[in-house]
Amino acid sequence: MNKEINGLIVSKILYKELNKYLLKKDIIPKVVDISIGNDFGGQMYAKMKEEKITSNTLIDFVSVHFDSMQIEELEDYIISINQDPTITGLMIQLPLPDNLRSEERRLLDMIDPKIDVDGLTSLSAGKLSVGDISLVPCTPLGIETLLKVYDVSLEGRKVAIINRSNIVGKSLAQLMLRNNATPIICHSKTKNLSKVTSDCDIVVVALNKQEFITADYIKDGSVVIDVGVHKNKEGKTVGDIEFDEVYKKASLITPSIGAVGPMTICMLAYNAAKSVYGKEIDNLLEEGIMKAKELIKTKK
Amino acid sequence: MNKEINGLIVSKILYKELNKYLLKKDIIPKVVDISIGNDFGGQMYAKMKEEKITSNTLIDFVSVHFDSMQIEELEDYIISINQDPTITGLMIQLPLPDNLRSEERRLLDMIDPKIDVDGLTSLSAGKLSVGDISLVPCTPLGIETLLKVYDVSLEGRKVAIINRSNIVGKSLAQLMLRNNATPIICHSKTKNLSKVTSDCDIVVVALNKQEFITADYIKDGSVVIDVGVHKNKEGKTVGDIEFDEVYKKASLITPSIGAVGPMTICMLAYNAAKSVYGKEIDNLLEEGIMKAKELIKTKK
């Protein structure tokens, strides 16, 4: 049996569903993704998002790059996009350059929550917490979707989340709670991390340390999700987990390429549609998950 | 050594600090607490808040009761209070009566977040999640304060929270994270709860089941916080934990009266001041905690 979770196949099915839906609609979502400065990873990622969403969906996705920007310029730009009725989604690529970084929270919160397709405003975080319909950060949403497609039972199960950022860990904890799982939010200060994680049924790793999580951190039969992406000395892409060793113990595992990454971008497309069509897109995603689940079952 | 946490003493010190602060200020906070319908517990609690805050602080706290209310009336009332410059805090006693309950979230979110002294709006929840200055729900804030006063080390320690509501469990998880603890959010679907909790250094119980948590749920030396309040068959007030048995194993424990309850109301007074004076009140609370800590040390 193949234990590897395939996010590429899942995302393809979900893109297809989304396009079928959008074809019947008058308004096609239009997203602006602002990136500023010369952070190499950030620029690469901005280009990839544009390329993937444009090639896979009907969504109009525009990556706008600025070599540098003063804070007042960015403020004015955000306001102008909020007011532009033709733009239905706005996101700002992080990290911001040095001159803007200390104001990151305030700048993100200038985004109109209705078009906050990255789910990073305070109001989006709050709505997720209180259980309201909201735009949810894409990486945790992609992880929840993969777990559902692969029929991973969540109710009552212990989920270790190694990350406490809003964009990944805290939001994922909210999603795990809404599936009746028991989340444990771990981070750099957590004592005896391997003892905590090896006691959990599901382990989600986003600590951004190359191949840090060895087989000792994992109990037999657990489900392991790896958010990390690194290039190792040999130029090979690896994750936060030592894949080959962890693979032997896990019942399901994500490779560092082709699992969480494509799902994150796919969920961005769903969020872009949700900012226009609201709860209908949640239903569409649930239907897509059912279809992907069927396909995965026949492939097992 | 007395293992019982004394929230009454702590709240008295904190009230004193708050009053000293307010005496020097021009604006005295004015809070309106709306209660509707005939929920006995809710009405009792509304009266108690008014009585305690009025007798212990300079704050102008007004409990306004309506036997019944149509949704439009409540909406208009909230709007009028939001617009009244003399009122600096607004809270709505839960549970709402049947005719309003399905709209609870929308009604709470009509409260201007600036005067949301109960910390129950979506925006307050979001700000807490992203780490912004915000009005934090009073019970978790009171628990965090008690743990600080009693010098409970939080960094790296595992904290089981048996509650996943926004008003208690989820907000407390955020507060534990900001203290570098590792929170585990448990609830009715958590499997093997006693195994989870007996592996934790700190256990916070808010499951609203009379004396449900026995000594089996607790490991030796742990800190146990009980949010539950019940009257038992003999008319005695008991909590969610079986106090006498758990007491023997705990290193610190809250009695069901005189610990979390008074701290919750005391934190409401601090929130009332914070809605007027902002971050200064966070600093005031930190200073009060230091004073209470000294006093508690000398009493040990």
pLDDT tens column, B82-107: 999 999 999 999 999 999 999 999 99
B43 is catalytic: no
Residue of A nearest to B170 (CA): A129
Q: Read off the pLDDT band of A300 (50, 70, 90).
A: low
Q: Measure CB to CB from residue A126 to each of B122, B186, B196 and give the nearest one.
A: B122
What integer best gives the mean pLDDT of chain B?
96
Say yes or no to pLDDT of B300 above 80. Answer: no
Helices marked H in A35-137 — which ranges?
40-56, 71-83, 98-101, 104-108, 122-130
Residue of A nearest to B174 (CA): A170
| pLDDT score of B196 | 97
Q: Do B164 and A156 touch (CB under 8 A)?
A: no
Which residue is associated with the tokens 């800590």?
B293
Q: Do A196 and B124 touch (CB under 8 A)?
A: no
Say yes or no to pLDDT of A162 above 80. Answer: yes
Chain segment B28-71, per-residue pLDDT in tens: 999 999 999 988 888 889 999 999 999 999 999 999 999 999 99
- Domains in chain B, CATH or no CATH each: 26-114 (3.40.50.10860), 138-260 (3.40.50.720)
Chain segment B130-172, per-residue pLDDT in tens: 999 999 999 999 999 999 999 999 999 999 999 999 999 999 9
Residue A53, Cβ neighbours under 10 Å: how many?
23
What average pLDDT score do residues A240-256 get?
A: 97
Q: Read off the pLDDT band of A39 (50, 70, 90).
A: confident
Q: Read off the pLDDT band of B1 (50, 70, 90).
A: low
A238: three-class secondary structure by DSSP: strand
Q: Do A182 and B199 touch (CB under 8 A)?
A: no
Distance from A214 to chain B by nearest Cα, in Å? Answer: 21
Q: Do B122 and A105 touch (CB under 8 A)?
A: no
Q: Do B123 and A124 touch (CB under 8 A)?
A: no
Residues B4/B43, Cβ–Cβ less than 8 Å: no
Q: Read off the pLDDT band of B299 (50, 70, 90).
A: confident
Residues of chain B in contact with residue A189, where contact means CB-CB under 8 angstroms, are 155-156, 180, 182
Residues B99/B70, Cβ–Cβ less than 8 Å: yes
Amino acid at A120: L
Q: Please give the Cα distance from A126 to A110 (Å, whole number).
A: 15
Amino acid at A125: A
Q: Write out the H or E segment, with its range, that includes residue B123.
A: helix B122-130
Chain segment B250-298, per-residue pLDDT in tens: 999 999 999 999 999 999 999 999 999 999 999 999 999 999 999 998 8
Q: Do B190 and A155 touch (CB under 8 A)?
A: no
Best interface-test mutation with A: which of B116, B130, B171 has the largest number of A CBs within 10 A? B130
Identify the contact set of chain A against chain B, taking CB-CB distances under 8 A: 105, 121-127, 129-132, 155-158, 164, 166, 170, 173-174, 177, 180-187, 189-191, 196, 199
